[in-house]
A and B are shown apart, each in its own frame.
Chain A
Amino acid sequence: MRLEPRAHVPFWLNIAAPVAAVILAFAFCALLILWTGAPILESYRALLVGAFGSTFAITETLTRAAPLIFTGLAAAVAFRAKLWNIGGEGQLYAGALAATYFGTGLVTLPPLLMVPFLFLVGAVAGGLLLLLPVILKLKLRVDEVVTTLLLNFVVILFANYLLFGPWKDPLAMGWPQAAPIIDEGVLSPLVPRMRLHSGLIWAVAFAVFAWGFIRFSRWGFQIRAVGFNPEAAAFAGMPIGATVLRTALLSGGLAGMAGVCELAGLKGYLTLDLSPGFGYTGIAVAMLAGLHPLGVIAAAIFVAAIYNGADAMSRAMSISNYLADVLTATSLLLVLASVLFVRFRPRLR
């Protein structure tokens, strides 16, 4: 087989290729299910029902998708500028820490203002956290992959210290958790008796915002230009440093908002299991979405559905729910590989 460059990429192929890749991923994982001895179709049916089969399933999937949209956007925006922000997890906790600091009684505003206020302080905390490694990158050329990754542990251990020490809620019967967010700051539920909260609406709104910003604003234009070709962008007079700093604030801010979304929407108070790795999964979401902010919505729902569905499948068919990780990883690899076929035409012979 050989590959020839395509002169024109038909639009449908941009959609069809990732869909085909995902189908292939499911086919591949069918082998794993087969290995465990469970019936394939029934297992996948259990997965589908677990993800979308009832109001409860749908709302659970969407609840899980909301923080993934934020962290996915954080990665997508940064990667567009070739800023390799692997620190989404740390920024998520930074956002949650800031929201806990301001939202547990220090500041009280009416609900209409309190929620935006918490998102704001969360975003500022996440953005400022990313600023540090980015300044090191710009001034001293320190590789941001390493620094952002390691900062995750710094932030999480700092949260650990706070939760076992000064911030420990005396009413929590000794559990390491902070005081709850005040009622004014809690995100309102969207569906009665379900956990789904208005954080999803915030997430979708910011995905649309990020798309418009990248696509239509001058700063977004600069982010794209600097990401594609920093040398040409600099030669054309674009401010490289300022662009990268803006990207960092936006990316870190979005990841910080993921922390606020989980804290004020779902958990209510800060614990150390606030995020099961949303910051890292956000990177996979962004790559699945081809770094497109609107695609991030779909990719986040897809990944959330797989994780939720795999839990249900695991219960019903007694297959390990690690299959969710394998499915996500295989989908990601195959979607990345499918990009090759979008750009090149495979020819047999």
Chain B
Amino acid sequence: MPEVDETVPGGAGVKQVPHRDPVLRLDGVTKHFGSLTANDAVSLDLYPGEILALLGENGAGKTTLMSILFGHYVADAGHIEAFGKRLPAGSPRAAIAAGIGMVHQHFTLGENLTVLDNIVLGTESLWKPMQSRAKARRKVVALAEHFGLAVDPKRLIRDLSVGERQRVEILKALYRGARVLILDEPTAVLAPKEVETLFKTLKTMVAEGLSIIFISHKLNEVMAVADRVAVLRQGKQVAQIPIAEASKESLAQAMVGRPIAPPKREPLPPGEIVMQMAGLSMSGAPGQTALQELHLLLYGREILGIAGVSGNGQAALAALISGLRLPDGGSFELLGEAVKTTSPAQMQHRGVGRIPEDRHATGVVGDLSVEENLILEASGDRRFCDLGMLRGRVIRRYAKDLIDRFDIRGADPTTTTRALSGGNMQKVILARVLSAKPRVILANQPTRGLDVGAAAKVQELLFEARAEGAGIILISEDLEELLQVSDRIAVLYQGRLSQPVAAEDADLTALGLLMSGHGEFERYRREAGHAA
């Protein structure tokens, strides 16, 4: 056990270790799940004071490897050394005692407890709770200040933003004396601003001699923050190089195993107006930002990118187009017809295809099979339903056809959808939506959390729909994706939409300023008002 009331973990411990001895050594770690080899003789070294990025597609074995390291799983072969000592397999307690801290992708915090409670949970002595509490508070405050992890120990977790919760998770690990921190996809849930703050914190921590394993599939972030990068592909380690010798292209190729060409947007003449909003206002659902005076024209054969940090009205805009809510004021027309009543089913009949933000919660019914999810929106269709009975054979054939056409991997029609990877689940949703030949498509964060290959496939499918004449609203936080995929880009900030600009003329800096509400935003909005 490391000394518990050591104010700054890492500092004292690292000095005892000669500089170039690895703090962590994974040697030939192998893990099978049935016939699947999740990790195949993976060997890794982690040195003090460095950030090692662990890069790989979804399902490449990153999380399995870290679960073995942290003692959630037991490896079939191979072993792990921490600070020169062999780590007993299968014991999270031993991992924590050896100074390994893990921040999971999905936080493990008690919502109804305070920050301090969450941090000390499980470390308190049963006999002197009050005394150790004051001490604990002092230590947490000191740690938070030292590493710039600002968070009030008295607040309840449920009142915290996602970024703050992550800081609590990191503090929790540091409090337990972690000198090696494992962060599993830490940026997946963060807004760009919060990502910057996190990276700053990480740099401070490694400067103190801590070591960090940063799990990600986002190349930009890896290039920005890591010192070295290890790439996993299908459970095998395919590269381990200093970041200085890596390039985005080479890493992408190592991850996927073949050169990846991001799909190219062919210029197309825009079609007719398919969706129109003029002076549209809508109060937000609880926790949502309201939409104010929205002006928006969407043409066929175009992708209109909606940039902006999450929480600026994207949820309300998506709810509107999805058929979950009606506007309070202004006009909303689809294919020339005013929308007076709404429901998800009505929107489908009007020719709107909807790709929701959260695939697990809203996109698919995870416990149903792939074929059932493919007909989720069309179960009443004459093709699939006869006198109230589903036509099993027709549906089976239809599902097989879509699985082939949309390249849904690891699935046959009867596979439980929950078992699919994020990318393949998204393809199920795309297959369902696009096979209805929608005229208007709402794509809300369609590539979030997807690896390079799957994201490219999703973009390619959106391009195909565009070529067939659909107008697409693409909501994304990823500016680079928007610039690459969209024909025009508008920025949503606090429920207001800026005048769209052609992607060719768009400028990262100007868009970034708009996204934070600065610069030309007001002027754009007024222009939009005049235009309509």
Whether A237 and B388, one on each chain, are in contact in the complex, defined by CB atoms closer than 8 angstroms, is no
Whether B89 and A349, one on each chain, are in contact in the complex, defined by CB atoms closer than 8 angstroms, is yes
The answer to whether the Cβ of A235 comes within 8 Å of any Cβ in the partner chain is yes
Stretch at the interface among B183-191, B216-224, B361-369, B464-472: B361-369
Give the number of A-B contacts (CB < 8 Å).
82
Q: How far is B373's CA from A238's CA once the two chains are assembled, in angstroms?
A: 12
If A216-B392, A218-B390, A221-B379 touch, whether A232 touches B74 (CB-CB below 8 Å) is no
Interface code B18-59, partner A: CB below 8 Å = 1, 0 otherwise?
000000000000000111100000000000000000000000
Q: Closest approach, in angstroms, between the C-beta of A13 and any C-beta of chain B?
A: 13
Q: Closest approach, in angstroms, between the C-beta of B419 and any C-beta of chain A?
A: 8
- Residues from chain A with a CB closer than 8 A to the CB of B36 are 7
Q: How far is B90's CA from A349's CA once the two chains are assembled, in angstroms?
A: 7
Which residues 220-247 in A have Cβ within 8 Å of B in the complex?
221-222, 224-225, 228-229, 231-239
Whether B390 and A228, one on each chain, are in contact in the complex, defined by CB atoms closer than 8 angstroms, is no
The answer to whether the Cβ of B345 comes within 8 Å of any Cβ in the partner chain is yes
The answer to whether the Cβ of B302 comes within 8 Å of any Cβ in the partner chain is no
Whether B390 and A231, one on each chain, are in contact in the complex, defined by CB atoms closer than 8 angstroms, is no
- Residues from chain A with a CB closer than 8 A to the CB of B362 are 231-232, 235
The answer to whether the Cβ of A139 comes within 8 Å of any Cβ in the partner chain is no
A4 contact from B73, B345, B380, Cβ within 8 A: B73
Q: How far is B429's CA from A235's CA once the two chains are assembled, in angstroms?
A: 12
Interface code A269-309, partner B: CB below 8 Å = 1, 0 otherwise?
00000000000000000000000000000000000000000
If A229-B365, A349-B89 touch, whether A235 touches B322 (CB-CB below 8 Å) is yes
Which residues 472-491 in B have Cβ within 8 Å of A in the complex?
none
B34 contact from A7, A238, A347, Cβ within 8 A: A7
- Residues from chain A with a CB closer than 8 A to the CB of B376 are 225, 232-233, 236, 238
The answer to whether the Cβ of A8 comes within 8 Å of any Cβ in the partner chain is yes
If A6-B34, A7-B33 touch, whether A228 touches B392 (CB-CB below 8 Å) is no
Interface code B315-333, partner A: CB below 8 Å = 1, 0 otherwise?
0000000111000000000
The answer to whether the Cβ of A219 comes within 8 Å of any Cβ in the partner chain is yes
- Residues from chain B with a CB closer than 8 A to the CB of A4 are 33, 73
Q: Closest approach, in angstroms, between the C-beta of B415 and any C-beta of chain A?
A: 10
A228 contact from B72, B344, B348, B366, Cβ within 8 A: B366
Q: Closest approach, in angstroms, between the C-beta of A161 and any C-beta of chain B?
A: 41
Whether B34 and A8, one on each chain, are in contact in the complex, defined by CB atoms closer than 8 angstroms, is yes
The answer to whether the Cβ of B372 comes within 8 Å of any Cβ in the partner chain is yes
Interface code B282-325, partner A: CB below 8 Å = 1, 0 otherwise?
00000000000000000000000000000000000000001110
Q: How far is B90's CA from A233's CA once the two chains are assembled, in angstroms?
A: 39
The interface size bin for chain B is: 35 or more
If A217-B390, A221-B390 touch, whether A228 touches B34 (CB-CB below 8 Å) is no
B344 contact from A221, A224, A225, A234, Cβ within 8 A: A234
Q: How far is B161's CA from A289's CA once the two chains are assembled, in angstroms?
A: 43
The answer to whether the Cβ of B389 comes within 8 Å of any Cβ in the partner chain is yes
Which residues 244-271 in A have Cβ within 8 Å of B in the complex?
none
Q: How far is B343's CA from A349's CA once the two chains are assembled, in angstroms?
A: 53
Q: How far is B35's CA from A8's CA once the two chains are assembled, in angstroms?
A: 10
Q: How far is B269's CA from A89's CA once the two chains are assembled, in angstroms?
A: 67
Nearest residue in A to B322 (C-beta to C-beta)? A235
Q: Closest approach, in angstroms, between the C-beta of B411 and any C-beta of chain A?
A: 13
Whether B377 and A349, one on each chain, are in contact in the complex, defined by CB atoms closer than 8 angstroms, is no
Whether A347 and B390, one on each chain, are in contact in the complex, defined by CB atoms closer than 8 angstroms, is no
Whether B389 and A232, one on each chain, are in contact in the complex, defined by CB atoms closer than 8 angstroms, is no
Whether A2 and B74, one on each chain, are in contact in the complex, defined by CB atoms closer than 8 angstroms, is yes
Q: How far is B345's CA from A216's CA once the two chains are assembled, in angstroms?
A: 22
If A235-B356, A236-B377 touch, whether A225 touches B365 (CB-CB below 8 Å) is yes
- Residues from chain A with a CB closer than 8 A to the CB of B368 are 224-225, 228
- Residues from chain A with a CB closer than 8 A to the CB of B345 are 237, 239
Which residues 308-349 in A have Cβ within 8 Å of B in the complex?
347, 349
If A2-B74, A8-B34, A225-B372 touch, whether A219 touches B363 (CB-CB below 8 Å) is no
Q: Closest approach, in angstroms, between the C-beta of A7 and any C-beta of chain B?
A: 4
Q: Which of A5, A222, A229, A235 has its CB near the most chain B CB atoms (within 10 A)?
A: A235
- Residues from chain A with a CB closer than 8 A to the CB of B365 are 224-225, 228-229, 232-233
Q: Which of B36, B345, B347 has its CB near the most chain A CB atoms (within 10 A)?
A: B345
Whether A232 and B34, one on each chain, are in contact in the complex, defined by CB atoms closer than 8 angstroms, is no
- Residues from chain B with a CB closer than 8 A to the CB of A229 are 361, 364-367
Q: How far is B380's CA from A233's CA once the two chains are assembled, in angstroms?
A: 13
Q: How far is B356's CA from A56's CA once the two chains are assembled, in angstroms?
A: 60
- Residues from chain A with a CB closer than 8 A to the CB of B344 are 234-237
B363 contact from A2, A232, A237, Cβ within 8 A: A232
Whether A222 and B389, one on each chain, are in contact in the complex, defined by CB atoms closer than 8 angstroms, is no
Whether B74 and A347, one on each chain, are in contact in the complex, defined by CB atoms closer than 8 angstroms, is yes
Whether A349 and B74, one on each chain, are in contact in the complex, defined by CB atoms closer than 8 angstroms, is yes
Which residues 180-227 in A have Cβ within 8 Å of B in the complex?
216-219, 221-222, 224-225
Whether A217 and B372, one on each chain, are in contact in the complex, defined by CB atoms closer than 8 angstroms, is no
Which residues 1-35 in A have Cβ within 8 Å of B in the complex?
2, 4-8
Nearest residue in B to A226 (C-beta to C-beta)? B365
- Residues from chain A with a CB closer than 8 A to the CB of B151 are none
- Residues from chain B with a CB closer than 8 A to the CB of A221 are 372, 379, 390
Whether A218 and B392, one on each chain, are in contact in the complex, defined by CB atoms closer than 8 angstroms, is no
Q: Closest approach, in angstroms, between the C-beta of A342 and any C-beta of chain B?
A: 13
- Residues from chain B with a CB closer than 8 A to the CB of A216 are 389-390, 392
- Residues from chain B with a CB closer than 8 A to the CB of A8 are 34
Whether B380 and A218, one on each chain, are in contact in the complex, defined by CB atoms closer than 8 angstroms, is yes
Nearest residue in A to B386 (C-beta to C-beta)? A218
Q: Which of A2, A229, A234 has its CB near the most chain B CB atoms (within 10 A)?
A: A229
- Residues from chain B with a CB closer than 8 A to the CB of A219 are 388
Whether B361 and A232, one on each chain, are in contact in the complex, defined by CB atoms closer than 8 angstroms, is yes
Q: Closest approach, in angstroms, between the C-beta of B342 and any C-beta of chain A?
A: 11
Nearest residue in A to B72 (C-beta to C-beta)? A2
The answer to whether the Cβ of B385 comes within 8 Å of any Cβ in the partner chain is yes
Q: How far is B345's CA from A2's CA once the two chains are assembled, in angstroms?
A: 45
- Residues from chain A with a CB closer than 8 A to the CB of B33 are 4-5, 7
Nearest residue in A to B384 (C-beta to C-beta)? A218
Whether A218 and B388, one on each chain, are in contact in the complex, defined by CB atoms closer than 8 angstroms, is yes
The answer to whether the Cβ of B167 comes within 8 Å of any Cβ in the partner chain is no
The answer to whether the Cβ of B354 comes within 8 Å of any Cβ in the partner chain is yes
B348 contact from A2, A7, A232, A237, Cβ within 8 A: A237
Contact surface of B with A, Cβ cutoff 8 Å: 33-36, 72-74, 89-90, 322-324, 343-345, 347-348, 354, 356, 361-368, 372, 376-377, 379-380, 385, 388-390, 392, 419
Contact surface of A with B, Cβ cutoff 8 Å: 2, 4-8, 216-219, 221-222, 224-225, 228-229, 231-239, 347, 349
14 example contacts (A-B, Cβ-Cβ < 8 A) are as follows: A2-B74, A8-B34, A216-B389, A216-B392, A217-B390, A218-B388, A221-B390, A225-B365, A229-B361, A229-B367, A234-B344, A235-B324, A235-B356, A349-B89
**13 new A-B contacts at CB < 8 Å, known A216-B389, A233-B376, A349-B89:** A2-B74, A218-B385, A218-B388, A218-B390, A221-B390, A224-B365, A228-B367, A229-B364, A229-B367, A234-B344, A235-B356, A235-B363, A349-B74
Task: Give 4 closest A-B pairs by Cβ, nearest first.
Answer: A237-B345, A237-B344, A236-B376, A228-B367
